[in-house]
Amino acid sequence: VKWGVPPARIIELDWWQETDVNGLQVTAAPARHFQGRGPRASKQTFWSSWAIRGPRHSVWFSGDTGAWDEGFAEIGERLGPFDLSMIEIGAWHPAWGSIHLGPENAMRTHQLVRAKTMMPVHWGTFNLALHAWDQPIRHLLELAEVASVELLSPMMGETVHRESGVSTYWLGRR
């Protein structure tokens, strides 16, 4: 409302609540993330991930979250399986387990929510960590190959249609 959005267009959901948006079932699901917006803000902000189901496909979007095996396993049990997971992979550091996932936790999360294909998101935008900007995707490509996980990672700015098949593009590799 403060940003000028009409109240009638605002839908607030708690975890596990859902709403219909133009024929898509949108469910708020658990996530947890560090809160740095002031001393009492962590008790006032409710982080969420999102499950989106249409007539033919399902997607889970991690939102900004840290590792949380129990919560993500419950999402997989209650809302999965998913055709696609969109999971944040950076910026990350081993000490930030409760803030961001990073490649290894993201891979485990993808498996816990029971998704078929993984699309890494939330990386390479801002240089907020001690690693190179492309380190999260490079490491995830290695992990996906070992785990035989189907990865969808288009070149930046590229449009990819799922029906045309999943391909992994990165720095000219196919």
Return per-residue pLDDT of the chain as tens, 174 residues.
999 999 999 999 999 999 999 999 999 999 987 665 555 655 555 789 999 999 999 999 999 888 889 999 999 999 999 999 999 998 777 776 667 898 999 999 999 999 999 999 988 777 777 888 888 888 999 999 999 999 988 777 777 765 655 444 443 333
Query: Nearest Cα to 24, choosing from 57, 68, 70?
Result: 57
In this prediction the pTM is 0.84
Collapsed DSSP state (helix, strand, coil) of residue 87: strand
**Residue 41: cis peptide before it, omega within 30 degrees of 0:** no
